[in-house]
Amino acid sequence: MNNWLGLLICIAYIFGLIGAAEMLRRWRGYKSSFTRKVIHIGVGMMSWGLHFLFDNPWFFIATAVGFMLINLLDWRYGFFAAMASSDRSNLGTVYFPFAAAVVAYLFWDQPPLMVAALMPLTWGDGMAPVIGQAYGRREYHVRNHRRTLEGSIGFFVACFLFTWLALWVVGGSPEVVPMAAVFPALVITIATTIMEAVSIWGIDNLTVTAVAILILNYWPF
């Protein structure tokens, strides 16, 4: 696909997600803590189609840098209520596109690893607060930040499933068969679940992705 067309599709998709999340917030009464994660997961899943949109990583990296600036302005001025966080110290929406850009740069020629590296952030970190808020009963705290055991379990299950799927479903090198994808997905899931549990101020978008990158970079596929 033409890179410029891919860029337009990418931008339209992201703003479409923000618009859909805003409709959910206004018409269905969902809190921004939920709609924020709808956007979070939706944007992360775009990684599955990046090689259909672009023939090199640089157009996507430029898009990610652009959205870092947009998200920083949104954090400062509150343009998009569906992306709002009650924690003003949380710059997670700024860190997310930065993490995605780094992953694309490092793993562009290894699509299964590129997508797998983003699944702990996309699904694990996306589902943890949703499950925690809906079903969390067993609390623990990191400094003054509340966590729940149920939320961490939600992270673990979602992270493992989608990391495993990414490793063997996404085409390209390295080719990983389903059974061979189980163990690296499990190691990544255990490590990133722990990292998410102890990371605060939204830096889990960086630390979780950094751990996934490190494991995938050295794993002997």
pLDDT in tens, 153-202: 999 999 999 999 999 999 999 999 999 999 999 999 999 999 988 886 66
Contacts of 42 (CB under 8 A, 6+ apart): 17
Give the pLDDT score at 166: 98
Q: Give the domain ranges of the chain.
A: 3-218
Query: For the CA atoms of the chain, what is the radius of gyration?
Result: 17
For the whole model, what pTM was predicted?
0.93
The yes-or-no verdict on residue 46 having pLDDT over 70 is yes
The residue among 71, 81, 79 whose CA lies nearest residue 35 is: 81
The whole-angstrom separation of Cα 203 and Cα 197 is 11
- Indicate the pLDDT class of residue 89, thresholds 50, 70 and 90: low
Range from 33-37, 48-52, 89-93, 175-179 carrying the lowest mean pLDDT: 89-93
Bridge partners (DSSP) of residue 145 are: 142
